[in-house]
């Protein structure tokens, strides 16, 4: 299928990126000034891309819905960022990180992209260190590492439990530098509501000024989406409550293929839901599993206080089931194991939907001080939310929706199927296959932004130097703006009885129940029906107060939820289509006798990329066959 | 150096440095005053007063002292006005979670101290400079002023004693924050030394306030 | 439980604004403060009233979007948390709760409880960064940083830019915010080359934007959700004097 040409360079895996960089078309500095690039989103990917492109001399415009670019949700990443420095002398290498990611992703990611992500990871650490990220250090002053789920080396750089914050603020600072130099113009409190195509190429976006409600047109020679993931489709997730999939979805409606939408990671260690009012779930970093041992009581309904349950009555189920990796199994495996225990009736806490993560042994061995230095802020966070002191008794944790491996389909250039439209960071699908490893997201986002996109985009920009600045009075902009206006007017004029939050919660429940950690055909079909019904209800009974020409948070929510209904439909279709278990996607019909995921490489060794064919018409599936030249596709085992 | 004193931090530097000077001045002032009650006769006090009133170096310092007072006051006023402007709309419920309690009232405490200063100067300083005060002779040297008697006279009146002691207390509140705050403004904050400085500030304040307070009390009750 | 909320409502930047009283009965101690406002908003929308506008995003105390001035304190009665981490456990049945936006001239109200904090971004545009181009960084371990300084830099770098320090300060001063960034970068060898320019430019920008002056009151430290302390302000002063005088 011509439409899905991944454009992977020739040569051996280790040489592809070098070859590519040596042969990519360049733009001369004088011409870069005349070329405009729009970046949507200011997280680890967006901020770093915008600043790197600004440094190169392009004229960059950046958009975020928050009041400041610093607040993008990369800020909440806790545990760390991987790099193949091998500072620990424990045998790490680019190949090993690449292999861990390919295996962690259950052989559903593209080799060349993953290898490149691993290759640039060292540069990312160097750059962040130079930008002033206070990564953890040894007494000798050198950088130190910790290990993370799914791997057997220590390659994760960290700044206590706030690595994401530190990397985010560093990207933000490099962005600020470019803003002060005038190469980047910042537009905050703006939401992208449509993509504008001119002659089939991405040439601009329509945004809504969230303060005045005004619709604005912005044009450019290329558009970069760094708009993050869509985990909030589950309503409760570890994401920011305003995180959404709308920018990617709008691009999808304009022709960008959406890949593997059903690959949504459920993170094993978040604070369990406590009540129905809850607006989000808070993550407890995976790094805690380095020292925290996960267990449930051996007896069902054991109501004893966890400290009173003796060693012999505890079931350290991860250590039991996966002796090689123990508590450090990848996220999908850890999540399902927790769900399995809870479903079987061994869960703890008031709802029975929780397991213990216990630091008793680590504290005994290493002392309060060491544990505090490693996880102080996480323990405090847990204490603040639950009122339980984790130094004294085990944490209660449960899986929650977290990261979406799926996203816009991109080729090796990170370009979507729309010429001139790029997707980077979590917004694309490329590097994590069916499951993302811990500390690989900051790595990929920053790598995409700082070290990959600036090269690959020049290949496209080199052909744009003859195209003058795109005017915003073209009919394509008129049409796009008109469509946006119509949709907003439609939403506000329904004037029903229920709020968008009401619908979002209901949608999230359906998705969590039928399309969460475990899926089956019957459930998915039911979910499809339920989503369709709920969508109809949404469009007939929604109530949005206020006006369009003012700061109106309800119209913002309504717009995002309306897109989630459509995305949910696609997510379910994708989950139905993939009749195998791989990574985060676990189909009950496809499991081994001992309950482990059963892949079907003969039929599903492909990326499912979906094409929008119009309202009310089914999406068309395109398959990008995955070729594994360097690694042997094997059963992913952590036993 | 350019425009350092136009910046907020530069202005604060002036206030702090002036504050330090005034802190030292208070010690000297208190030392001399204490001779009133510690010495057998009024001689040491009057001799010192004479010295302070006539010595040329002291006269220079007198001018500097006035200038420093003025700088302290003027810069504080500028900063304070900027601070008021920085919050045009005030909170319905004000915040009271400060660490240094009296810092919230420095401007008002300072204002009261300024009023006190004017009264105090009219009571003694201007009188000795421009008014007429009895003369006194020790060891055949004629001193032009018998400031000691004037002070003792004043502190026979209960109202004045109470007024002075109240003002000393207010001065104490001002110093309680001011002493350690001046160090912070100069950038001198250290995990070991700052607690020591804070203690020192408290000791200083207690010494100065009690030193000044004890004088009118003893005079009132003994003379 | 039941609370009486007195919430600042202001239609837009130009409107006058006033407190509006809401008696809200369906409050659970398990709610967070913002979830309580969410629930109130749901009720208001259904009644046909306009919901209360307030900023919030990550809801785990790290993005710095939220920030409400509750009963005379930024982020409410508990120490070391952002507004989104405040639980209704902190209140009693029948309490009256005043909710105000941050108040400072450089933080004008946009709507209800939302203020414009872009002044913070502007301060950081004035050299709140290390000038290093992508690709030109040396190996991460080529510059060793004493752990002590690295840890101190971390403590300063955790600022979430929420503005609680300005809101708490009786002078609406931004010194804690500025000092945290200046300290973070001044403590690291990577940040030293342009430390002098940085502190001069950031202080100048802070003054220009109309923030008040620090009087070492310490309300900022007391209210900072990340408990950034006053030693940073002393370091800022020190850095500033050495940059200006020496």
3-state class (DSSP) for residue A264? strand
Residue C51 is classified by DSSP as P
Q: What is the mean pLDDT of residues C68-83?
A: 96
Q: Is A110 a catalytic residue?
A: no
Which residues 6+ apart lie within 8 Å of A551 measured at CB? A210, A211, A212, A213, C12, C53, C110, C111, C114
pLDDT of residue B144: 65
Of the pLDDT bands very low, low, confident and very high (cuts 50, 70, 90), residue C158 is very high
Tokens of A188: 């905050």
Domains (ranges, CATH) in chain B? 4-92+103-222 (1.20.1300.10)
Helices (H), A348-423: 360-386
Q: Do A554 and C48 touch (CB under 8 A)?
A: no
**Band (B171; pLDDT cuts 50, 70, 90):** very high
- What is the domain partition of chain C in residue ranges? 3-100, 118-245
Q: Which SS3 state, helix, strand or coil, does residue C68 take?
A: coil
Q: How far is A164 from chain C (nearest CA, A)?
A: 10
- Is B86 within 8 Å of C105 when comparing Cβ atoms? yes
Task: Say what the alpha-carbon torsion angle C163, C169, C170, C173 is, to the nearest 10 degrees.
Answer: -70
Q: Please report the DSSP string for A25-52 in residue order.
A: ----HHHHTT-EEEEE--SHHHHHHHHH
C118-245 topology per CATH: Fumarate Reductase Iron-sulfur Protein; Chain B, domain 2 (1.10.1060)
Residue C112 and residue C54 in contact, taking contact as beta carbons nearer than 8 Å: yes
* Interface mutation target, options B2, B4, B9, chain C, most CBs of C under 10 Å: B9
- CA-wise closest residue to C103 among C67, C135, C148, C139: C67
Look at the alpha carbons of C122, C124, C130, C133 in this order and tell me if their dihedral is positive or negative: negative
Per-residue confidence (pLDDT) for residue A1, from 0 to 100: 44
Of the candidates C172, C216, C222, which has its C-beta nearest B86's C-beta?
C172
Helical segments of A474-552, H only = 475-493, 500-515, 521-541
Query: Which of B12, B94, B106 shows the shortest C-beta gap to C214?
Result: B12
Residues β-bridged to residue A196? A204
CATH superfamily of C3-100: Beta-grasp domain (3.10.20.30)
List, for chain A, all residue ranges whose pLDDT scores fall below the cut of 70: 1-2
CB A587 within 8 A of CB A579: yes
Measured between CA atoms, the residue of chain B closest to residue C8 is B92
**pLDDT for position B127:** 80
What is the reported pTM?
0.96
DSSP A112-159: HHHHHHHHHHHHHHHHHHHTT----B-TTS-B--EE-TT-SSEEEE-S
Tokens standing for residue A236: 């409760």
Q: Mind listing the domains of chain A with CATH numbers?
A: 268-401 (3.90.700.10), 478-600 (1.20.58.100)
Place of tokens 């930047």: C13
Whose tokens are 């440094």? That residue is A55
- Quick one: residue A433, left, alpha or beta (phi over 0 = left, psi -120 to 50 = alpha)? left
**Two structure tokens written together for A443:** 């790595």
Task: Tell whether the model's pLDDT for residue C24 goes beyond 90.
Answer: yes
Count of residues for chain A?
Answer: 639
Please return the burial class of B223, using the count of CB atoms within 10 Å of its CB with bins 0-12, 13-18 and 19+. exposed
Hey, is the C-beta of C132 within 8 angstroms of any chain B C-beta? no
Query: How far is the CA of A209 from the CAs of A161, A190, A253, B200, in angstroms?
Result: 34, 5, 22, 56
pLDDT at B198 over 70: yes
Locate A639 and state its tokens. Answer: 């036993």
What's the ipTM?
A: 0.97
Report the C-alpha gap between A608 and A288 in whole angstroms: 34
User: By three-state DSSP, how is residue B180 classified?
Assistant: helix
Chain C nearest-CA distance from A563, in A, is: 19
Q: Which of B9, B97, B184 sits opposite C230 (nearest CB)?
A: B184
Q: What is the pLDDT of residues A388-398, one digit of tens each?
A: 999 999 999 99
**B186/B214 Cα distance (integer angstroms):** 33
Q: What is the DSSP letter of A436?
A: P
Given a cut of 70, whether residue B1 has pLDDT beyond it is no
Q: Provide the CA B124 distance to its chain's centre, in angstroms.
A: 15
Q: Are C120 and B103 in contact (CB under 8 A)?
A: no
C-alpha–C-alpha distance, residues A94 and A102, integer Å: 12
Burial A36-52 (b: 16+ CB within 10 A, else e): bbbbbbbbbbbbbbbbb
CB A605 within 8 A of CB A625: yes
Q: Which of C204, C212, C219 sits opposite B83 (nearest CB)?
A: C212
Crossing angle, helix B8-38 and helix B56-85, to 10 degrees? 130
Record: contact B83-C173, CB cut-off 8 A: yes
For residue A487, which of A434, A436, A555 has the smallest C-alpha distance? A555
* Exposed/middle/buried for residue B37 (C-beta within 10 Å: 0-12, 13-18, 19+): middle
Pairing of β A190-198 and β A81-82: unpaired
Chain C contact for A547 (CB, 8 A cutoff): no
Q: Does A241 touch chain C (CB under 8 A)?
A: yes
Cα diameter, chain A: 75
Nearest to A190 by CA among A209, A212, A206: A209
Percent of chain B with pLDDT over 70: 98
The residue behind tokens 């990397």 is A167
Q: What is the pLDDT of residue B2?
A: 59
**Chain A interface mutation, best of C63, C182, C183, highest count of A Cβ atoms under 10 Å:** C63
Please, which residues 63-92 of chain C have a Cβ atom closer than 8 Å to chain B?
A: 69, 71-74
Select from A253, A152, A626 the least CA-distant residue to A430.
A626
Token reading at A285: 């970093």
């Amino acid at each position: 299928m011509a439409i899905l040409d991944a454009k992977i360079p020739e040569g051996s895996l280790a040489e592809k990126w070098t070859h590519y960089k040596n042969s990519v078309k360049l733009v001369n500095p004088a011409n870069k000034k005349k070329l405009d690039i729009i970046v949507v989103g200011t997280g680890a990917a967006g901020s770093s891309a915008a600043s790197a492109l600004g440094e190169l001399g392009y004229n960059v415009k950046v958009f975020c819905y928050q009041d400041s670019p610093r607040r993008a949700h990369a800020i909440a990443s806790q545990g760390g960022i991987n790099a193949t420095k091998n500072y620990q002398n424990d045998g790490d290498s680019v190949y090993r990180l690449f292999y861990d990611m390919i295996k962690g992703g259950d052989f559903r990611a593209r080799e060349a992209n993953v290898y490149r992500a691993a290759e640039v990871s060292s540069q990312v650490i160097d750059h962040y260190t130079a930008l002033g990220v206070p990564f953890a250090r040894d007494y000798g002053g050198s950088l130190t590492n910790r290990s993370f789920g799914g791997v057997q080396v220590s390659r994760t750089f960290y700044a206590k439990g706030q690595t994401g914050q530190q990397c985010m603020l560093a990207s933000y600072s490099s962005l600020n530098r470019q803003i002060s130099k005038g190469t980047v113009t910042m537009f905050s409190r703006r939401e992208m509501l449509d993509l504008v195509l001119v002659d089939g190429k991405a040439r601009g976006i329509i945004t809504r000024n969230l303060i005045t409600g005004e619709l604005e047109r912005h044009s450019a020679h290329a558009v970069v989406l760094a708009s993050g993931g869509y985990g909030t489709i589950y309503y409760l997730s570890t994401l920011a409550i305003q995180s959404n999939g709308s920018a990617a979805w709008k691009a999808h409606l304009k022709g960008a293929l959406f890949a593997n939408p059903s690959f949504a990671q459920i993170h094993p260690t978040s604070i369990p839901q406590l009540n129905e009012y809850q607006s989000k779930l808070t993550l407890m970093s995976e790094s805690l599993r380095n020292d925290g041992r996960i267990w449930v009581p051996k007896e069902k309904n054991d109501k004893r206080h966890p400290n009173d349950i003796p060693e012999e009555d505890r079931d350290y189920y991860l250590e039991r089931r996966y002796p090689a990796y123990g508590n450090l199994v990848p996220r999908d495996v850890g999540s399902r194991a927790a769900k399995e225990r809870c479903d079987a009736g061994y869960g703890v806490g008031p709802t029975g939907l929780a397991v213990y993560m216990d630091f008793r042994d680590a504290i005994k061995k290493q002392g309060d001080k060491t544990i505090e230095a490693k996880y102080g802020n996480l323990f405090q966070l847990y204490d603040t939310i639950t009122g339980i002191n984790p130094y004294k008794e085990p944490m209660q944790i449960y899986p929650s929706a977290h990261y979406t491996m799926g996203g816009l389909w991109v080729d090796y250039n990170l370009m979507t199927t729309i010429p001139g439209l790029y997707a980077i960071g979590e917004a694309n699908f490329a590097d994590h296959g069916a499951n993302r490893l811990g500390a690989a997201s900051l790595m990929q986002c920053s790598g995409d932004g700082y070290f990959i996109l600036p090269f690959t985009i020049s290949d496209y920009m080199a052909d744009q130097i003859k195209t003058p600045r795109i005017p915003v009075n073209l009919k394509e902009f008129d049409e796009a703006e008109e469509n946006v206006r119509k949709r907003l007017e439609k939403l506000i004029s329904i004037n029903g009885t229920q709020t968008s939050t009401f619908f979002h919660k209901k949608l999230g429940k359906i998705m969590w129940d039928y399309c969460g950690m475990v899926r089956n055909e019957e459930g998915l079909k039911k979910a499809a029906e339920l989503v369709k019904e709920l969508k109809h209800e949404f469009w007939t009974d929604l109530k949005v107060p206020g006006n369009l020409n003012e700061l109106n948070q309800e119209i913002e929510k309504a717009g995002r939820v309306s897109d989630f209904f459509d995305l949910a439909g696609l997510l379910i279709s994708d989950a139905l289509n993939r009749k195998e278990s791989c990574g985060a996607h676990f189909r009950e019909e496809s499991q081994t006798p001992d309950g482990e995921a059963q892949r079907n490489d003969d039929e599903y060794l492909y990326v499912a990329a979906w094409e929008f064919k119009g309202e009310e018409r089914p999406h068309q599936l395109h398959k990008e066959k995955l070729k594994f030249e360097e690694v042997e596709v094997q059963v992913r085992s952590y036993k | 150096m350019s425009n350092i004193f136009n910046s907020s931090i530069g202005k604060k530097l002036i206030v702090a440095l002036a504050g330090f000077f005034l802190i030292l001045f208070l010690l000297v002032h208190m030392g001399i005053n204490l001779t009133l009650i510690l010495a057998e006769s009024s001689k040491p006090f009057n001799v010192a007063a004479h010295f302070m009133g006539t010595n040329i170096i002291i006269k220079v310092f007198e001018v500097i002292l006035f200038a420093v007072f003025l700088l302290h006051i003027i810069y504080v006023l500028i900063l304070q006005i900027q601070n008021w402007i920085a919050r045009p709309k005030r909170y319905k419920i004000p915040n009271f979670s400060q660490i240094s309690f009296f810092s919230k009232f420095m401007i008002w405490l300072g204002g009261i101290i300024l009023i006190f200063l004017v009264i105090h100067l009219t009571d003694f300083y201007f009188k000795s400079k421009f008014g007429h005060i009895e003369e006194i002779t020790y060891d055949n040297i004629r001193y032009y002023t018998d400031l000691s008697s004037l002070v003792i006279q004043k502190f026979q009146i209960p109202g004045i004693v109470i007024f002075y002691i109240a003002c000393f207390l207010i001065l104490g509140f001002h110093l309680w924050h001011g002493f350690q705050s001046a160090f912070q403004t100069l950038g001198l904050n250290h995990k070991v030394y700052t607690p020591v400085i804070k203690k020192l500030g408290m000791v200083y304040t207690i010494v100065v306030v009690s030193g000044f307070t004890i004088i009118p009390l003893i005079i009132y009750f003994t003379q | 439980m039941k609370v009486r909320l007195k919430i600042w409502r202001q239609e837009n930047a130009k409107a006058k604004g006033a407190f509006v009283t809401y008696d809200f009965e369906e409050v659970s101690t398990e709610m967070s403060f913002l979830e309580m406002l969410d629930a109130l908003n749901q009720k208001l929308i259904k009644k046909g009233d306009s919901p209360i506008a307030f900023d919030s995003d990550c809801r785990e105390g790290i993005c710095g979007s939220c920030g409400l001035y509750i009963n005379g304190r930024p982020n409410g009665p508990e120490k070391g948390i952002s507004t989104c981490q405040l639980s209704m456990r902190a209140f009693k049945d029948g309490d009256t709760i005043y909710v105000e936006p941050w108040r400072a001239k450089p933080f004008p109200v946009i709507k209800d409880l939302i203020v414009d904090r872009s002044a913070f971004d502007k301060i950081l545009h004035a050299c709140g960064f290390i000038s290093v181009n992508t690709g030109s960084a040396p190996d991460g371990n080529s510059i060793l940083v004493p752990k002590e300084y690295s840890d101190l830099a971390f403590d300063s770098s955790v600022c979430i830019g929420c503005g609680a320090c300005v809101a708490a300060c009786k002078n609406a001063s931004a010194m804690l915010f500025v000092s945290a960034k200046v300290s973070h970068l001044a403590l690291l060898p990577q940040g030293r080359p342009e430390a002098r320019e940085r502190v001069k430019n950031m202080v100048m920008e802070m003054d220009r934007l109309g923030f008040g002056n620090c009087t070492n009151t310490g309300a900022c430290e007391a209210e900072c959700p990340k408990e950034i302390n006053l030693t940073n302000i002393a370091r800022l002063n020190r850095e500033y004097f050495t940059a200006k005088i020496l």
